[in-house]
Amino acid sequence: MPTDTATTWAPAARAVAQPRRVFVIDDDDVMLLTCRRTLEKDGYEVETFGNGLDGIRRIEQQPPELLLVDLKMPELDGLQVIERVRQVDPNVVIAVITGYATISTAVEAMKAGAYDFLPKPFTPDELRLIVNRGHERWRLATESERLRREKEEAERRFVTFVSHQLKTPVVAAKQYLDVLLYTAGDELTSRTQEWLRRAQARLDEMLTLIGDWLELARIERGGDGLGEPGVTCDLRHAITTVVEALRAQAESAVVTLETDLSAEVEHVRGDEVSVSTVVSNLVSNGIKYNRVGGRVTVRTWLEGATALIEVSDTGIGIDEASLPKLFHEFCRVKNDQTRDIPGTGLGLAICKRIITTLGGFISVASRLGAGTKFVVHIPTAATTEGLGHGAR
Ligand code: ADP
């Protein structure tokens, strides 16, 4: 059991106390000044903006904890500001200021994502009440998010610990069955032999699941120097090796495996094991989710400082609704055609983690019944920056 995964049970460090930042957006200068004076006296860091666009630009750079925004402003009004801020950072707590407080405007603002409502004119105490309440809400939301992450992290460490513990006995049980079938197979009835083979198959599935989970945990720990600067691999060599290793699987599935590798693409960022894992998962899926007589093609080309690897197949395809979930852990598309195909639902999650860590991204396009195409964008060895898209 490696100490770096299973025995580190210390809770993550507590969130560092944040400065209490408040932004105020209002086209009324007097209002801005009043808010600034009142809140700065209470120790808040205040920034004020005379229109929605300036405020949003600043929020895009560094969002505050709390935003007070006037509902009625020329150009961008309060509701439009709320909508944009929600897209930039849904955690910002928003309170609206308005001179024409009615139930319907309040409802509209709350629906758009505002948390509180401050009718004009207001006293400094009323302003303080709203801001303090908003700040408390932000603090509680942040704290509960931190606890959620800590819980998730603890659960993942537990699963990793259990996986490590299970691996050895499962391998041993499988070996006992191998020996039993090999040495005493003739003495067993064909029915018993069939049961033992089924037990072996289930243990194999379990070992694959354990292996995939441990691989994911290894990547999350940045294991074996994944993503370390300066580590590169020969992409052409990695793909050729993977394709040759999978040729037998393709032949038994009666699927043609072909490559079209550009001589321009040489070394890319990443160690060979990780890059090969990505290619192997994609090609193996292309074979698994294919049909007799189908084809899987691996193509590479260069676009500036990016190497592209396309793995396309003529297989069963994926329905549109499943595409956004495809890279989530344990996602398996369930239908009549996939029911009997073994898998863990971790392969694509592993691919995405590896590629993201290497500063690239992966995308997918598919049509049900027509085939699937995955495209991996990976920085070439010479690049120092990430590709900046995030995995999609
Ligand atoms: P699995 O171990 O189940 O293959 P993956 O994470 O590799 O897990 O893939 C997740 C799911 O995405 C698969 O269960 C399958 O339903 C679908 N999928 C992946 N690749 C393809 C493909 N090339 N064609 C059709 N479906 C695919």
Asked if pLDDT for residue 5 goes beyond 60, the answer is no
Note the pLDDT of residue 387: 62
Question: What's the rounded Cα separation, in Å, for the pair 133 and 14?
Answer: 22
Which ligand 1 atom is nearest residue 338's CA? Answer: 16
Mean pLDDT of 27-31: 94
Percent of the chain exceeding pLDDT 90 equals 78
Question: Could you tell me the end-to-end alpha-carbon distance of the chain, in angstroms, rounded to an integer?
Answer: 34
Instruction: Look at strands 93-98 and 66-70 and give their pairing.
Output: parallel
Is 331 exposed, middle or buried (CB count within 10 Å of its CB: 0-12, 13-18, 19+)? middle
Q: Which residues contact 209 (CB under 8 A, 6 or more apart)?
A: 344, 346
Answer yes or no: are the C-beta atoms of 42 and 36 closer than 8 Å: no
**CA of 367 relative to ligand 1 center, distance in Å:** 14
Give 55 or 218, the one with higher predicted confidence.
55
pTM given for the model: 0.75
Note the pLDDT of residue 103: 73
**Residues in the ligand 1 pocket, defined by CB under 6 Å:** 281, 285-286, 289, 313, 315-316, 318, 326, 331-333, 338, 343-349, 372
Which of 309, 348, 363, 374 to probe ligand 1 with, by most ligand atoms within 8 A of CB? 348
Answer yes or no: are the C-beta atoms of 378 and 358 closer than 8 Å: yes
Asked if pLDDT for residue 180 goes beyond 60, the answer is yes
Note the pLDDT of residue 101: 61
**CA of 280 relative to ligand 1 center, distance in Å:** 13
Give bridge partners of residue 178 from the DSSP assignment: none
Mean pLDDT of 310-332: 96
Asked if pLDDT for residue 333 goes beyond 60, the answer is yes
Taking all residues of the chain, what is their mean pLDDT, rounded to a whole number?
A: 89
**CA of 299 relative to ligand 1 center, distance in Å:** 19
